[in-house]
Amino acid sequence: MIVAVTMNPSVDISYPLNRFKFDDVNRVESVSKTAGGKGLNVARVIAQMKEDVICTGVVGGTIGDYIVQQLDGRHIRNDFLRIESESRNCIAILHEGMQTEILESGPTLSEQEGIAFLEKFEGLITSASLVTISGSLPKGLPTHYYCKMIEISHKKGKRVIVDSSGESLKQVLMHEKKPFAIKPNTAEFSQLMGFEVEAEIIDLKRTLSHKIFEGIEWIVVSMGSKGAFVKHGTDYYQVTIPEIDVVNPVGSGDATVAGFSVALNRNQNVATVLKTAMTTGMLNTMEAGTGYINKNKFKQYFDFVKVEKID
Ligand code: ATP
């Protein structure tokens, strides 16, 4: 079983409008409300890949209830810590070919809630084979909170994949107990290094050999339509993908983490792990919904992904 963690889930509301009127009333005909958050997208794709998954994290209030109902409705197992404050709404207004977003920052957790979640997490991962941690931390938790989750996972002998950014990712890399894998995209990778990382193989290889990555088994730098550049142990790989018709690329990094986790969980070889990760990422971009893939297309696109070892 894979445990997929989302510490700051949301209800994602999308309002399509022909024209967005400022300082006026905007009436919306068709509203879509879905349970959102990076780890929830990861879990949805894992479930579509027919691998056993459970979602966890923290939820509160009626928005929290809605998130749970949505997951239950899709038969995705979940076990969240209930917190005092309300989970957040994230609103996307789709207008004139643009997307204006209004993102609530979400609840502030108390210290006790932070401790209570770590206890729940420890219990949940006992029967897990793999853990994914995705997205940002809610307010109230220290930036090294993911390090505590990694420590617990080490104690229990579980592999952890971290897909986060900013300070929480930096803390994870600086901690003595390392995650099993990280999946930054190029922007997150550049932000982490403090300089614009070039997409040239020689630069990527040099950057990934930096000592902050020592002890991490897998570093998958996802590069959108350019595929990925990967460090596995002491080996480096360039992964290229075919040109495809993109409908909605949002969440493709989450779908990549999902495919990666599924293949690792099935003990597949390096090439299959990377090809699966790229394929689920691509399939997500080909659907309108975030965290959805058409599994019928899997084999066709998987065969187009090329994994090349770099000397
Ligand atoms: P997000 O933050 O939206 O979840 P990300 O920025 O973390 O995404 P990307 O590097 O953009 O992740 O994409 C992850 C993977 O999804 C890519 O490595 C690739 O397999 C696939 N992908 C993303 N965008 C495209 C695209 N335009 N064409 C083909 N494949 C894509």
Domains within the chain, CATH numbers bracketed: 2-21+30-310 (3.40.1190.20)
Residue 281 alpha carbon to ligand 1 centre in Å? 6
> Which atom belonging to ligand 1 lies closest to the Cα atom of 186?
10
| Model pLDDT, residue 144 | 97
Question: Does residue 244 have its Cβ closer than 6 Å to ligand 1?
Answer: yes
Query: Ligand 1 pocket: which of 252, 257, 273, 305 to mutate (most atoms <8 Å of CB)?
Result: 252
β-partners of residue 212 are none
Alpha helices by DSSP H, listed for 194-269, are 201-208, 252-265
Q: Helices (H) and strands (E) in the chain — how many of each?
A: 10, 15
Q: CB under 8 Å to 79, separation ≥6 — which residues?
A: 54, 55, 56, 120, 124
Q: Among residues 28, 88, 27, which one has the least CA distance to residue 61?
A: 88
| Model pLDDT, residue 203 | 84
Question: Does residue 228 have its Cβ closer than 6 Å to ligand 1?
Answer: yes
Q: Among residues 285, 293, 150, which one has the least CA distance to residue 217?
A: 150
| Model pLDDT, residue 66 | 97
pTM above 0.90, yes or no: yes
Q: What is the mean pLDDT of each run of 10 residues along the chain (311 residues)?
A: 97 94 95 94 98 98 98 97 97 91 95 98 97 97 98 98 96 96 93 85 88 96 96 96 93 97 98 98 94 96 97 86
Please tell me the distance from the alpha carbon of residue 245 to that of residue 62, in angstroms, as a whole number. Answer: 38
Residue 215 alpha carbon to ligand 1 centre in Å? 26
> How many CB atoms neighbour CB 147 within 10 A?
21
| Model pLDDT, residue 200 | 82
Q: Among residues 49, 52, 76, which one has the least CA distance to residue 273?
A: 49
What is the per-residue DSSP string for 241-258?
------S--TTHHHHHHH
> Which atom belonging to ligand 1 lies closest to the Cα atom of 251?
4
Q: Atom 29 of ligand 1 has which residue's CA nearest to it?
A: 225
The residue written with tokens 């950057």 in the block is 207
Structure tokens at 200: 């040239």
Tens digit of each residue's pLDDT (9 = 90 or more) over 146-199: 999 999 999 999 999 999 999 999 999 999 999 999 999 999 999 988 888 877
Q: What are the CA-CA distances from residue 274 to residues 4, 18, 109, 145, 270 (Å)?
A: 19, 40, 36, 28, 6
| Model pLDDT, residue 83 | 98
The SS3 assignment for 94 reads: strand
| Model pLDDT, residue 99 | 86
Question: Does residue 242 have its Cβ closer than 6 Å to ligand 1?
Answer: no
Residue 218 alpha carbon to ligand 1 centre in Å? 18
Please tell me the distance from the alpha carbon of residue 235 to that of residue 213, in angstroms, as a whole number. Answer: 13
Structure tokens at 280: 């689920």
